[in-house]
Chain A
Amino acid sequence: MAVIDVNGLSKVFRAKTKEPGLRGSVRALLRPTYTELGAVKGISFAVEAGELLAFIGRNGAGKSTTIKMLTGILNPTAGTAQVLGLVPWESRRQLAYTIGSVFGQKSQLWYHLPALDSFRLLGSIYEIPHRDLAKRLDAVVELFELAEFIKTPVRKLSLGQRMRCEIAASILHRPQVIFLDEPTIGLDVVAKLKIRELIKRLNEEENTTIFLTSHDAGDIEQLCKRVIVINHGEIILDTSTSYLRHNYLTTRIVNVKFAEPCPGLRLSNAEILKHTEKGVKFRINTRSTSIEDVLGELFAQADTADISVEEPAMEEVIRDIYRRPAGEGEQDAVS
């Protein structure tokens, strides 16, 4: 059974329009006019238990709005959704016992108190019996390596330490699903790696379903098996990460080292990026050209010492997906 099941979910925000000046203010009060903004436009997908899924898209694509609807914070304008068999906005409190959420841009810890105090408070909010909480705290503190700073007021923690505490706070009650909205935002490389490792372990050791948004290609590449791309409130891609990596962007960069210089090299279906005495670097598109043909052509003309083929980086793949106009390139990708 799917733990998250979304069907035609939509959210339209209504913002009051106000014309400039006092007259505008008065008119806005007396006869308000509204602009409607479709933040999420009829998205559908399902997530199975234990999945680790990346939900990505450009700024303003509708990621946070989707998460807010799935956690019961916002009412949708249309469509249905079930999380663990419950409709989030109808059974918000009941659902809260079984899901967790972290919004990277907002803190759920008490700023002036040590994280340990926040954990205790959350323990009573979730009605975790004392003994269970103590055990759970021990386990979480060890898993997240918090012992060193758990008694320091949160305001004195580094961002990376704080984020570890945030995620720890969201799993005290052993949620089956957690929503992580940009958990690595603003972190340095090392801190990011740490957070990724934690998310992975959470997924593997506790079989927690993880719904993650991020602008970091590394998060997606290293963590997630599946990627959903949302653009202007619509899902434009829903596929496996490995498909994205290997088959989505079909350009390959080929680096060749010559044994002998080859000044007269001509390749009919490749774009030569750099050509020196020592070697040549060119780009081919595997959709229209086979690598073998190009290499055959190369071998016929040059004496080569070494060849390497580069796949495009995940970041480039994502940049390319975002750049394509809606409706293009998805037919062959949606599984």
Chain B
Amino acid sequence: MFTEAKRAVRFVFQYFSANLQSAMEYRGAFLSQVVFMFINNLMLLFFWWVLFTQIETLNGWSFEHVMLLYAVASGAYACQALLFGGSFTLSRAIAEGRLDFYLALPKPVLLHVLISRSAASAWGDLVFSLAIFALTAAPSPGLLLAFLILIFAGGVVMTSFAVLANSLSFWLGQSEQLADELIEALLTFSLYPEGIFSAATRFVLYTVIPAGFVSYLPVRILTDFTLVHVVLMILFALGLALLARLVFYLGLKRYESGNLVVINATE
């Protein structure tokens, strides 16, 4: 059990460093992407700052909260994109029969696909996330640790959600666009303060599109710590990950190695 875990970590790490090396092959592009992402995030936040010069709070959310929200959401996204970048393109891999490669190797297919890619631009998001976090709270080591754990858990939620969305193509055939839009929606909602939504929408955001577990709940934990919320957060991340795994492997039974041949019957 322990050696198994050690092996898995080594495996993830080796992929991670190989991905980084790949990105370094194009140092110029890498750096400009990172800088671009950083500036892009900063501009979004600037928009909120302008808004908050007009009003004090927005349904209980202050600019401080929004900054923390941005730190948490971009941190969670960075975790997904850097560690599990394969989650974005999973349905394409399914449609194009690219799972063959992973199926021929002696490692768990899902984990292997997930770590096979790393979006270099997300380093910009990570730097942004940490910088904004440093600006908001008086960053004690304890709080930083909590922050890192929370963005990792948020990253797991985002990754699991992406796996679920992308696994649809096992059943629906070519559905990359649908999956992309779902993934995009989760990220977008994670960047809005919860306060602006109605109760019904909030219900959706804690279930179907779990932005609540990517950013709202972590923000609440960081500003107003309760153990119950921490436990809830971790259980949700774990549960969603297990569900995603289950659904993926169920779908994999239907995998036909580039199975999405559509015949045009004209008669």
Contacts and interface: CB of A to CB of B under 8 A. Distances in A.
A binds B: yes
A112 B104 contact: no
B266 to A, nearest CB: 6
Interface in B1-48: 7, 10-11, 14-15, 18, 21-22, 25-26
Contact of A93 (B15, B100, B106, B261): B106
Contact of A113 (B11, B25, B100, B105): B25
B253 to A, nearest CB: 7
Interface string B102-128: 011111100000000000000000000
B100 A18 contact: no
Interface residues of A, number: 34
A239 to B, nearest CB: 30
Nearest to A72: B103
B256 A13 contact: yes
A280 interface: no
A17 interface: yes
A104 to B, nearest CB: 13
A124 B10 contact: yes
B22 A112 contact: yes
A121 B15 contact: yes
A96 interface: yes
Contacts of A151: none
A75 B264 CA distance: 26
Nearest to B259: A13
B18 A103 contact: no
Contact of A126 (B10, B26, B106): B106
Which of B98, B103, B108 gathers most chain A CB within 10 Å? B103
Contacts of B173: 16
A147 interface: no
Interface string B155-170: 0000000000000000
A15 B261 contact: yes
Given A13-B256, A110-B22, A121-B14, A73 B262 contact: no
B15 to A, nearest CB: 7
Interface residues of B, number: 32
A94 interface: yes
Contacts of A103: 100
Contact of A18 (B26, B106, B108, B264): B264
Interface in A133-174: 153
Which of B7, B26, B105, B263 gathers most chain A CB within 10 Å? B105
A15 B99 CA distance: 19
A92 to B, nearest CB: 7
B257 interface: yes
B25 A112 contact: yes
Contacts of B255: 74
B228 interface: no
Interface string A119-135: 01100111100000000
Contacts of B263: 15-18, 35
A16 B264 CA distance: 9
Interface string B38-68: 0000000000000000000000000000000
Interface of A: 13, 15-20, 35, 68, 71-75, 92-94, 96-97, 101, 103, 106, 108, 110, 112-113, 117, 120-121, 124-127, 153
Given A93-B107, A96-B105, A106-B101, 6 more contacts: A18-B264, A20-B264, A35-B263, A73-B257, A113-B25, A125-B107
15 contacts: A15-B261, A16-B173, A19-B265, A71-B104, A74-B257, A93-B106, A94-B106, A96-B106, A106-B98, A117-B18, A124-B11, A124-B14, A125-B107, A126-B105, A127-B7
Q: List the 9 closest A-B pairs by CB distance, nearest first.
A: A96-B106, A112-B22, A73-B103, A17-B265, A93-B106, A15-B261, A112-B25, A124-B14, A73-B100
